[in-house]
Amino acid sequence: MDITPTDSALPPPSRGSVTRIGDRVFSGLARGSGIFLLVVMASIAVFLTIRATHAISQDHANFFTSFEWDANATPPVFGIGVLIYGTIVSSVIAMALAVPIAVGIALFISHYAPRRLATPLAYVVDLLAAIPSIIYGLWGAIYLVPHLKGLNLWLDEYLGWTGVFDKTDPEGAARSLFTVGILLAIMILPIITNVSREVFRQVPKMHEEAALALGATRWEVIRMSVLPFARSGIISASMLGLGRALGETMAVATVLSASPVLSAKLLDPVGGTFAQNIAAKFGEASPFGRDALIASGLVLFVITLLVNGAARLIIARRKEYSGANA
């Protein structure tokens, strides 16, 4: 049987060729953008790896375990022991403080607050995200550090026995990893809050009504329907926050009193993070010193990738039970 153009669902060929050009342009653009992204990623990775291997091969100290960072010296000695520790510890403190508070704020906005309170509150949280990190740094150094003295003394006195909150010099300034963690917590609060809030809003009405109809209180509805549905979203939100905390530079560099000492005492003003170390040393680094800093940057890059990968694994393992397939 002959198929005339009008029988076909597609437009007739004369106009079809026009659409096809548009189609081709668009698919070319889309493909090009995708390839461009991969090229950018790959070139960053290659750049980091080449410069880093060059630097590490000339390192006269163990790159992973030594504390000192003196890449301009001859022979150069530098290691990331302190930086790895400081970056992870400050980020863990930030996450431990920020995630529960952010989830709480998000739940309050999405499920508890009356609308006329929820909207301005959500707006204020958005504003927090708009503050540049150097402002956080200045505020942290000038306001937060002196005002944390009381908290530090209290922790030293009542929780000092844990070792973690024991302060070598109780009167000393609080330019410590602990303070950095608190500051980072405030900085990552908005992103975790906003993403969680959006996820909480997307919980299907019918899941919440299922719990309500069984005679669940508001908190029980949240526990039975909202949180399980939102779990993978909360994890993603936390990872976004963690990414920011791991890489935060200016605020940490402004607040932390950095020194190449690895201490389990979180309140002591010592330590450093990858980003802070790069920012502090980059200006006066020799070309080789820059490569050394790039090597530390590569480690930060890998840590971030691992963290994201782990988060994806957690999400994927719970997929069967997630709300997505309901």
Partner 1 sequence: MAKRIDVSGLSAYYSNHKAIDDISMTVEPRSVTAFIGPSGCGKSTFLRTLNRMHEVTPGGRVEGKVMLDDENLYASGVDPVAVRRTVGMVFQRPNPFPTMSIFDNVAAGLKLNGMRRKSELENVVEKSLKGANLWNEVKDRLNKPGSGLSGGQQQRLCIARAIAVEPQVLLMDEPCSALDPISTLAIEDLIGELKARFTIVIVTHNMQQAARVSDRTAFFNLSAIGQPGKLIELDDTERIFSNPSVQATEDYISGRFG
Identify residue 176 by its one-letter amino acid code. S
> Which member of 10, 213, 283, 287 binds partner 1 (CB under 8 A)?
213
Q: Taking CB under 8 A as the rule, does residue 225 contact partner 1?
A: yes
Note whether 116 binds partner 1 by CB under 8 A.
no
What letters, b where the CB count within 10 A reaches 16 and e where it falls short, cover 126-160? Answer: eebeeeebeebbebbbeebbeebeeebbebbeeeb
Closer to partner 1 by CB, 54 or 207: give it.
207
- Count interface residues toward partner 1 (CB under 8 A): 24
Give dist(CA 169, CA 74) in Å, integer.
35
Q: For residue 294, give the nearest of 32, 61, 47 by alpha carbon.
A: 47
Least spacing, CB of residue 115 vs partner 1, in Å: 8
- The correct pick among 214, 264, 302, 306 for binding partner 1 (CB under 8 A) is 214
Q: How far apart are the C-alpha atoms of 191 and 315, rounded to whole Å? A: 19
CB of 221 to partner 1, least distance (A): 10
Give min distance, CB of 320 to partner 1, in A. 6
For partner 1, which is the closer residue by CB, 173 or 224? 224
Which alpha helices (DSSP H) does 261-322 contain, by range? 274-282, 287-317
State the Cα–Cα distance between residues 281 and 69, nearest whole angstrom: 9
Contacts (CB under 8 A) with partner 1, residues 153-212: 204, 206-207, 209-212
Q: Which residues bind partner 1 (CB under 8 A)?
A: 204, 206-207, 209-217, 220, 224-225, 228-229, 231, 320-323, 325-326
